[in-house]
Every structure is written in C-alpha cells, then in structure tokens.
Amino acid sequence: MESNACAAALLAELSQAKELLKELELNLHCLDLCKALTPRIASSIHNSFLMAESFEANNGHDRPPSSSLALRPRTLSTPKRRYVRTSHAGSTVRMVMKLRIICRKSLYSWRCQVRVSSVARGVEGPGEDDGFTWRKYGQKEILGAKYPRAYFRCTHRTSHGCPAKKQVQRSDDDPSVYDVTYHANHTCLEQPREEEKGGAGGAIQHDLGQSAAALKLEGGEEFVGQIAPSFGPMEEQFVPVSPYQFWGFHGAENSSLPIEFDGDGEVGPVNIWAGVEWMQ
DNA sequence: CGGATTTGACCGCG
DNA sequence: CGCGGTCAAATCCG
C-alpha cells in the first residue's frame, strides 16, 4: 500500500514533468514562457529523482518524498524522525514522518516556498491562494533582489484584530517559486477553504469560535490547535500551542484517518512530511 | 460606493 | 545614513 502510494507520487511528479514538456513544445515561439517553464521542468525531474532514490533506499517501503514545496522554517534544530501509526481501512500500517522542530522563538514566524501552478498566474504569485484572505499593504524593492517584496496582512486585522502577516518574494533564480514568510498566526474566524481542511467526518474537527482544529486520536485523546496556512499538497504545519498539543492534522481528505503519535510531545512548531497518504 | 491595490513618504533600527 | 517595513492618500475596480 505504501509503496503504491510512493510510486503514485513519483508517477504524479513525472506526469507533471511530461505535461510541462508538452507545454514547452507548444510554446517554443515564446521565449519568456520557455524561460519560465524550463526551471519548472528541471525541478520536477529533480524531485522525481529524489523520490525514486528515497523509494529505493527504503526497499520499496514508505518514506515521505522530499518535495519541491519544501518548508523552510527560519530556525531549525537537527531534523528528527518519529514514527506514527495510522489505521486506515481496517489495516494498521506504520509510516515514517520526518519532523523538524523549530525553536520556540520562531513560533510565530516561519517560511516556506510556494511554486505557482501556472506561469499564466502572473506576478501576483501565490498571494491569495493559501486559504486565507490577505490585503496587500506595501511593496518594496529589496536590495540585491530582482523582484520586489510584497507585504500582506490578514483582511480581518481591523475587524478581528488578526495579527497574521506575510511577505511574498519572488525567487531570483526560479521565477515560478515564491518565498513566503509568515508572521503570526491567524486569530480571526476565517477558516481555510473546505478542500484544505481535513476530511469530512475525519480526524479533524473545526471549532469556528476559536478558529481552531481538533485532532482526535483513536484512543479518544484530543489535540486542539489551528491549521496553519497550507503550503501545498504534501506539507502541513502543526504548531503545538503547548506541550503535547498539536495543530490539526491535514490530509485525511475524504476518509477517516485516525493518527496516533508514538512519542512525547514537542514544544514549538512541527513540520510534517507525510503526503504519501493523500497524494493523488 | 466601498473595499482592495498602488506607491511615495515616513519611521525605526542597526 | 541606508535599508526594510509600514502608513496613508490616491487610484482602481467590481
């Protein structure tokens, strides 16, 4: 099952490369488009290699593929690995989650890279596409950067006093990649869009009053938190509000997928790569 | 007409 | 003093 999921992830990445190549072939007359497509194709092939290597290194057993949408928290300690047990469709499987623990001082600030899905999306980049609504309040030329940095704050700052902010900076070397730096979490009532939440009737329940998500474990234990903005199909950020509390689990898509943590809680945001369970 | 964006001015920090 | 972040008036847009 896991090897199937991993193979599916690899196939998906290869299909994407194929599609991009097709797009390139159709647009050979347009230099700008070619320039934009080439690094995306290279990146897709690179990812495929990483997935294949990771797959092989684990003898066909599951391990989360590394991703082009790598989360890059500001401050990292040595990455740790932990095991979780997931029970799905009656069978219990074991899968590895690669965790990175961020020290507490960066609790309200983190960075990720976002790759835009289409070059046609233009210069505004991933601005509004993370499940929250943002209001742009500034733009600044940054010394040594090709592209200006855009400043956004949550639309609900005035109405709810929501402190969430983000900065979006287009990458110098790959125009299809945006560096997004988030500052503070949302305290407004707005929820990530429906498709970005955990599955219906699944492991996640949202508490609208608190803008929170509850992760219910098989044993009845419940962790309360809030889903951080979605960074892509394969990553989600879990930020414990206190030890032993984790942010809601993303990715149970259309199935009930109880998650059981094997180990103690950690203080600080925890990034989890475990996309193989819900990747197409 | 109201909300969002643009953009030059302003401010604080190193 | 320079740079990055924010403010706010002007402008845009649905």
Q: How far is the CA of A11 from the C1' of C13 (A)?
A: 42
Which residues in chain A land under pLDDT 50?
1-3, 5, 57-108, 116-128, 190-280
pLDDT of residue A157: 84
pLDDT of residue A82: 29
pLDDT of residue A39: 56
Angle at A175 between CA A174 and CA A181, to 5 degrees: 90
Residue A275, classed as helix, strand or coil, is helix
Which nucleotides in chain C have some atom under 7 angstroms from a protein Cβ? 2-8
pLDDT of residue A137: 95
Closest nucleotide to A153: CA versus each C1'? C6
Which nucleotides in chain B have some atom under 7 angstroms from a protein Cβ? 4-9
pLDDT of residue A215: 41
Closest nucleotide to A169: CA versus each C1'? C4
Closest nucleotide to A151: CA versus each C1'? C5
Closest nucleotide to A136: CA versus each C1'? B5
pLDDT of residue A216: 37
Q: Where are the beta strands (DSSP E) in chain A?
A: 80-88, 91-101, 109-115, 134-140, 149-154, 165-170, 177-183, 204-207, 212-216, 222-225, 235-238, 259-261, 270-273
Question: Alpha-carbon distance A255 to A25, whole Å?
Answer: 39
Q: How far is the CA of A142 from the C1' of C3 (A)?
A: 8
Q: How far is the CA of A154 from the C1' of B3 (A)?
A: 14
- Please give the C-alpha separations between residue A61 and each of A3, A99, A140, A144, in angstroms, as whole numbers: 5, 18, 47, 44
From residues 76-135 of A, which are strand B contacts by CB within 7 A? 124, 127-128, 133-135
pLDDT of residue A8: 56
